[in-house]
Structures are given as C-alpha cells and as structure tokens.
C-alpha cells in the first residue's frame, strides 16, 4: 500500500507539471505497455493532452492497440496526432502546426511482467502560415522493453525505448516580396531557422512510467515520459517531461486474482 501511495503522489505531482504542447519537428509518442499474460488478449488505449485556451487550440492524441496472437508473442499498432494553432507567440490563430505518426511492432512477452517490441514508424510534421509552408516526412525505427506488474485494480510499468529517427523528405515554400503565391525553395526553414536535416539519423533514449487504475478491464491510464537525444542536433524537440492521461480497455477476461498491488 505504501508503494501505491507513493506512485499516486508522483503522478498527481506531474499532472500539474504537465508540459506545454510544442511545435517541434520531433515528438516522442506515448509508449504502449500491454503486458500480456496469455494468447488472444486484445487491448486498446487513448491518451490525451489537451491544453486548449480561448482562441488557441493545442492538443495531442495517442491511440494504442495490441493483440497477443500466440503465447509469448504479440503485435501492436499505435497512432499519434498533434495539432496546434498560433504555435508561437509571434504567429496568428490562423497559423497551424500538425504532427501525425503511425507505427507497428511485433514483440515478445512473459507472464505479464516483461515485454520487448521492435518496430517501424512513419509520419509527417508541418507548419503553415500565410507567408510560408514547411513540411517534413520522417521514418523511425525503435526497440522498447517494459517491466511491470498488473492486478485487478492497479497496473504499473517502467519502459525504456531507443528510437532512431530520420527525415526522408522536406519541402519549404514561401512568398517572395509582394507575391500572393508560395514559391518552392531549395532550402528548408522551420519557424525562421534554416535547417540541414537530410541524410542524418538521430538516436533518442526515452524512459517512461505508466500507471493504470481501475477495475479489471477498464482503467484510467497515465504515462510520464521524457526524451533525450544522444547527439547534437540543430532543431528543437520535446525533451521536457510529458504527461498524457486517458482510458485503457482490456477486451479479454482478467483471471488474475492478485491483491491490489
């Protein structure tokens, strides 16, 4: 019970600390932690960080799904979507930042206490204003491992993910002088900063803590995570701590009769 109280205190603390949604080129997605115990289990979760204020919209949504198709082997599909208008102080409410990402990963699990998945993801990040348009497509390879414990009422997990992120296509258009059309440029700018990001791989280490509270198949899920790049980069990313909150559903019957924690 002391462990549970301590974990709850940490998560409540970081709920109030939850970071602002950024308009960075790289965004770390929430880590899916199904922690299967047997075959033919199916789980889904939706995690949301909504920081909309008056005439400024800002939100991120992570959709997670996972299925254990064989004993000790599973597969996951995850989607991330981020939207923000007026992404920086000097921009208007008509300027928009968008980030979309899809990943798939097969993996191995053991008795609901350990799992490891390796996968591939692809996505696109873009910024549009009345004077310019910037778009960047990217790929990501990753491997993640999770240790944890689950019961009827509480699931707790610690995850560590290594991500290898690279841009495969960039596009930048801007208005020249008093023209009304956007002209394509040979250079790439992101919020006024010239970047050279092609043909480079950026390695990230991303630890996360996940807590699920509820009863049997329906639980509230919160995840606290952070992202560290292992090399010098010339663009911003959300290296600050993030906290997402949502709902987790286990569509398989839970036969575990353990105590609360």
**Environment class of 251 (CB within 10 Å of its CB; exposed 0-12, middle 13-18, buried 19+):** exposed
In a domain, 97, yes or no: yes
In a domain, 209, yes or no: yes
List Cβ neighbours of 36 (8 Å cut-off, separation of 6 or more). 43, 66, 68, 74, 109, 112, 115
Q: Strands 202-215, 228-229: parallel, antiparallel or unpaired by DSSP? A: antiparallel
Cα(156)–Cα(43) distance, rounded to whole angstroms?
A: 16
In a domain, 260, yes or no: no
In a domain, 143, yes or no: yes
Cα(28)–Cα(127) distance, rounded to whole angstroms?
A: 18
In a domain, 77, yes or no: yes
Dihedral angle sign, alpha carbons of residues 153, 157, 163, 165: positive
In a domain, 220, yes or no: yes
Overall number of domains in the chain = 1
CATH code of the domain in which 129 resides = 2.40.128
The three-class DSSP label of residue 49 is: strand
**Environment class of 230 (CB within 10 Å of its CB; exposed 0-12, middle 13-18, buried 19+):** exposed
* Per-residue pLDDT, 177: 67
Domain hosting residue 46, numbered range: 2-250
**pLDDT per residue rounded down to tens, the chain (261 residues):** 555 555 555 555 444 445 566 677 888 899 999 999 999 999 999 998 887 777 778 888 999 999 999 999 999 999 999 988 865 655 555 688 899 999 999 999 999 999 999 999 999 999 888 788 889 999 999 999 999 998 888 899 999 999 999 988 888 888 776 666 677 777 888 877 888 887 789 999 999 999 999 887 899 999 989 888 888 877 766 556 788 889 999 987 655 544 444
Among candidate residues 246, 249, 248, 244, the one with its CA nearest the CA of residue 27: 244
* Per-residue pLDDT, 240: 67
* Per-residue pLDDT, 260: 42
In a domain, 193, yes or no: yes
In a domain, 259, yes or no: no
Cα(135)–Cα(175) distance, rounded to whole angstroms?
A: 15
* Per-residue pLDDT, 63: 96
Q: Which two tokens stand for residue 174?
A: 């801007």
């Amino acid at each position: 019970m002391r462990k549970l109280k301590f974990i709850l205190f940490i998560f409540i603390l970081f709920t109030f600390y939850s970071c602002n949604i950024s308009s960075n080129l790289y965004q770390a997605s929430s880590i899916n932690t199904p922690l299967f115990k047997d075959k033919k289990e199916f789980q889904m979760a939706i995690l949301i960080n909504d920081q909309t204020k008056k005439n400024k919209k800002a939100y991120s949504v992570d959709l997670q799904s996972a299925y254990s198709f064989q004993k000790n082997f599973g597969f996951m599909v995850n989607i991330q979507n981020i939207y923000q208008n007026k992404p920086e102080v000097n921009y208007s409410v008509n300027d928009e930042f968008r980030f979309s990402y899809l990943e798939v990963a097969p993996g191995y699990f053991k008795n609901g206490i350990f799992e490891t998945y390796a996968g591939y993801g692809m996505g696109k990040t873009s910024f549009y204003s009345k004077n310019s348009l910037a778009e960047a497509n990217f790929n990501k390879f990753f491997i993640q491992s999770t240790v944890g414990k689950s019961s009827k009422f509480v699931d707790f997990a610690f995850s560590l993910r290594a991500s290898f992120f690279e841009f495969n296509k960039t596009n930048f258009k801007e208005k020249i002088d008093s023209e009304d059309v956007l002209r394509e440029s040979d250079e790439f700018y992101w919020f006024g900063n010239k970047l050279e990001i092609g043909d480079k791989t950026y390695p990230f280490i991303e630890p996360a803590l996940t807590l699920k509270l509820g009863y049997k198949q329906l639980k509230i899920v919160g995840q606290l995570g952070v992202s560290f790049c292992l090399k010098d980069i010339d663009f911003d990313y959300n290296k600050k701590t993030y906290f997402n909150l949502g709902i987790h559903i286990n569509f398989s019957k839970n036969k575990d009769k353990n105590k609360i924690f």
